[in-house]
Chains A and B, each alone.
Chain A
Amino acid sequence: MRFLELASRNLKETYRDPLALGFLLAFPLLFMLLFGVVVGGEATPNFPIGIIDNDHTQVSQVFVNEALAEVDAFEVSTYDDATKAMKDLKFGDLKAYIVIPQGFGQQVIQSGQGDEANITLNITYDESDIMVSEQIISMINAVTRSFANIEIPITIDSNPIHIETEITYIDFIAPGIIIFGLLILIPTSARIMIHDKEKGMLSRLLTTPARPVDFISGYSLCLIAIAIVQIIIFIAAAWGFGMDIVGSLWLAFLIFFLAGLCSIGIGMVVASLTKTENQAEPLCWIFAMPLAILSGCWFSLEIMPSYIRNIAYAFPFAHAIDASRGVLIRGVGLEAISGDLLFLVGWAVGIFAIGVILFRRSMRS
């Protein structure tokens, strides 16, 4: 098998170069450590919030349609019952939902008349997004107080889902850092291919009977092996830093694997379009860095303007982060992330097809 020989050669070239290998594995780990230790991030939020109005009074309707809807940071949608809202929360479509209890309007009117009142809201939120959930609670608190015109804090009957696990920042950040590590496969795959092109190895091998498909498979297999090792190390490291793994590890692995394939494909396309490492390297980082920021490796996508989010979701990595957070932190199953998975598969197939076409074209001029 020609491609196996090519793949084995590519692998040896990679793992026998300790510096390159070190960079490949240590760089994202360093990021994980940094983010695990230094927690940060200011938000201009945009949170999808669900409302279940059990009060059905004029006051509660005004509270929903005017007070809450006017908050820029909220994207309010109403639900009839908690079951559907809980489902959306679990799938990541909602950040929190608020149940307005019966008697809410009455209590607000009492407090408006200066009487003693006990205003209660029941909030169920996604605890895995710590930064986000804390902001949501404080914002709802503030909105309600200003609506009811009272100085004292209202009672927030908070109901975080997943209370049995203590969600730490590392839980939230780890999937993003793993995806960032896989984004580094873009420059890695481009470098491995372009190195052979620049040093004449590709030309040399092109004078042998090896076919284009041998080359593509030879490079891909090597890079896939690297990706698999990376994913294993990253997951192990994240676990070592304290990440809880709630859902299926295999499902998470599949998501990361598909994201890795997309990175390899992008790198292959860049390598086919450029002639030297000096051209390829910056071009790869131009893809990798913005994609890392856009896809929510380090920050929640909810804090970004909607048009940026639209751009982010055109690429596979935001989907991979959403899906892997869903699986790892919230423990959702295949059904919940099937849309994201399909998008990832489509992207991987598409980018590989483009890579093969471009590679064939660059083979013989």
Chain B
Amino acid sequence: MPSDRAESVKVSSDLAIQTSNMTKIFNGLVAVDGIDLNIKKGELFALLGPNGAGKTTTINMLCCLLKPTGGTATVMGYDINRQPFKIKEIIGVSPQETVISEHLNCWENLALIGKIHSIKAGELKIRSQQLLETMGLGDRAKDQARKFSGGMKRRLNIMMALIHKPEVLFLDEPTLGLDPQARRAIWEYIVRLKRETTILLTTHYMDEADFLADRIGIMDKGKIVALGTSTELKISVLEKHTMIIYAWNLTQRVISEMRSKYDEVEVTNGTMIITDKRLDFKEIVDLLHSSGAVVRSAYIKEPTLDDVFLHITGKELRE
């Protein structure tokens, strides 16, 4: 590892990104408000928040497009203020807007970024081939990008961030404006990238963060308002869980027993809804079985990140 990686900031060797009170103010408007983030190497971290929360500004500071107004950060040990070109060599950025050269084909678009990163021609070809295959653009590789669908352009957009095998990958809203099928294809590819590279992803889609991220930072008005794994976030903010059971032959005795054990039990036409802080799925189903009830189906209604966001900020995520 090069010796000039920042020493002024306390760097833990297992951290890929570390920010310390990083702030950006545009003409008096606070876009990012003193955030502290520690993202581990190999981690897929999602910044989740509504438009205007400061997610893209955060990324832009980390990839040295914007200078922070205050505070600092390191990327793989390099200081964003003092060593921007060191950082630019080891990161890949897939911008929020699809930014590709429309009159260039896939090969040429990939070569543009690859050659700027000084990748040798032979390696570039192999790497491009691999990416084109995995991203499913192999048969359209020689077509100019302007002829592509939105989903294909998006994939090329991500491929351009990957061509030089970056140590840290920034994906700014990777599936913005795509149909569910195209989103799913990109998710699958991102999942495959996990562990190979550290990924910082921004999104305002709850399901995206939930599906992809190891950890999630919920961002609102320039601040990280909650941080943790999807499960941690849901547990931390939601006090009660709900289990819904469809069953035949629910006796009065078992209903009474349930009511004595759990906070709320509602029964209507063979549907039992139990709500409490702690619910043990197996225990409840076993109890029903032993009472002679026939359980047709049962599930615990999972809290969503929407619920988490609503709980923390008092507003819905989607405007």
Contacts and interface: CB of A to CB of B under 8 A. Distances in A.
Contacts, number: 69
Contacts of A199: 97, 99
A6 B111 CA distance: 10
A2 B112 CA distance: 9
Contact of A365 (B67, B88, B91, B95): B67
A208 B116 CA distance: 7
Given A200-B97, A207-B91, A209-B88, A13 B102 contact: yes
B116 A210 contact: yes
Given A9-B112, A200-B97, A207 B103 contact: no
A12 interface: yes
A210 B84 CA distance: 11
Nearest to B93: A207
Contacts of B101: 9, 12-13, 201
B65 A206 contact: yes
Contacts of B117: 208-209
Contacts of B95: 200, 203-204
Nearest to A5: B115
Interface in B140-165: 144, 160
A42 interface: no
B104 A2 contact: no
B66 A208 contact: no
A5 B111 contact: yes
Interface residues of B, number: 29
A206 B67 CA distance: 13
B276 interface: no
A209 B89 contact: yes
A200 to B, nearest CB: 4
Contacts of A12: 101, 103-104, 108
Given A204-B95, A208-B116, A17 B65 contact: no
Interface in B76-134: 84-85, 88-89, 91, 93, 95, 97, 99, 101-104, 108, 111-113, 115-118
B255 to A, nearest CB: 61
Nearest to A214: B116
Contact of B99 (A16, A201, A210): A201
B72 to A, nearest CB: 15
Contacts of A211: 85
A362 B270 CA distance: 68
B39 interface: no
A203 B65 contact: yes
A16 B144 contact: yes
A11 to B, nearest CB: 10
Contacts of B115: 2, 5
A349 B276 CA distance: 77
Given A203-B65, A206-B65, A207-B88, A5 B99 contact: no
B55 to A, nearest CB: 15
Contacts of A2: 115-116, 118
A13 B145 CA distance: 11
B116 A13 contact: no
A23 to B, nearest CB: 16
Given A207-B65, A208-B113, A13 B97 contact: no
A365 B66 CA distance: 5
Contact of B93 (A204, A209, A365): A204
A17 B146 CA distance: 11
A211 B93 CA distance: 17
Contact of B88 (A9, A201, A203, A208): A208
Contact of A364 (B67, B97, B112, B160): B67
B63 interface: yes
B99 A6 contact: no
A204 B99 contact: yes
A365 B67 CA distance: 6
B64 interface: yes
B63 A13 contact: no
A200 B88 contact: no
Nearest to B170: A207
A205 interface: yes
Contacts of B66: 364-365
A214 B64 CA distance: 17
Nearest to B59: A207
B82 to A, nearest CB: 13
A245 B66 CA distance: 54
Contact of B116 (A16, A209, A364, A365): A209
A364 B87 CA distance: 15
Interface string B229-269: 00000000000000000000000000000000000000000
B253 to A, nearest CB: 67
Nearest to B98: A200
A275 to B, nearest CB: 14
Interface of A: 2, 5-6, 9, 12-13, 16-17, 199-201, 203-211, 214, 364-365
Given A364-B66, A364-B67, 20 more contacts: A2-B118, A5-B111, A5-B116, A9-B112, A12-B108, A13-B103, A17-B103, A199-B97, A200-B99, A203-B60, A204-B95, A207-B91, A207-B93, A208-B113, A209-B88, A209-B89, A209-B116, A214-B116, A364-B64, A365-B67
17 contacts: A2-B118, A9-B101, A9-B112, A12-B101, A12-B104, A13-B102, A16-B104, A199-B97, A199-B99, A203-B65, A204-B93, A205-B116, A207-B65, A207-B91, A214-B116, A365-B66, A365-B67
The 6 closest A-B pairs by CB, nearest first: A16-B103, A5-B115, A207-B93, A200-B99, A204-B99, A208-B116
Interface of B: 60, 63-67, 84-85, 88-89, 91, 93, 95, 97, 99, 101-104, 108, 111-113, 115-118, 144, 160
